[in-house]
Copies of this chain bind each other. A is one copy, B any other.
Amino acid sequence: MLAAMKSRRSDPDPPHASPTPPASEDSDIALGAVLDFMRALWAVDHGLQTASKRMEQTLGVTGPQRLVVRIVGRQPGISAGHLAEIMHVHPSTLTGILGRLEKGGFIQRRSDPGDRRRALFTLTARGRALDKARAETVEARVRRALVRLPDDRVGATREVLTTLVEELAKPR
């Protein structure tokens, strides 16, 4: 939603836009603006998940799963913990993702010889093929979107997204 459908919006902004309720802070900033941004964010969230599911049908892996494959492809022998840190997910979440990738034959698990608590991962032949695949991926769609846009805006977006993640991740 959001501007994506500005062409034919069946809706929003009835007569009375937000009553400007007791905003705890920045009482004068346009609530509609932030809300509009929120809808853009949720739209991206939903778009990612939908594209992810679609990719699962065609390639056999979801978005997060492929992201793991791409990272492992770049850093063979990476540990589960390091992977969790890079992806900002809880280690227990990664357990499931890694399990499905292993079961699907995309990655191989081995024990760190120097520290046997650690699980290290590398790609299998099938994983390497997936690592190289470009068609029908979520990444392919993102790439198509990015090439339509000026570099400086994409760079600015990355910066904004990073700040957003920081704020969303703050405790409390």
Contact = CB atoms under 8 A, between A and B. Distances in A.
B161 A141 contact: no
A11 interface: yes
A125 interface: no
Interface in A143-172: 143-149, 152-170
Given A85-B10, A143-B29, A157 B156 contact: yes
A49 to B, nearest CB: 8
Contact of A89 (B38, B46, B138): B46
Nearest to A32: B1
Contact of A164 (B30, B44, B166): B44
Given A4-B33, A29-B6, A71-B29, A165 B40 contact: yes
A83 to B, nearest CB: 10
A76 to B, nearest CB: 10
Interface of A: 1-6, 10-14, 18-27, 29-51, 63-64, 67, 70-71, 74-75, 82, 85-89, 132, 134-135, 138-149, 152-170
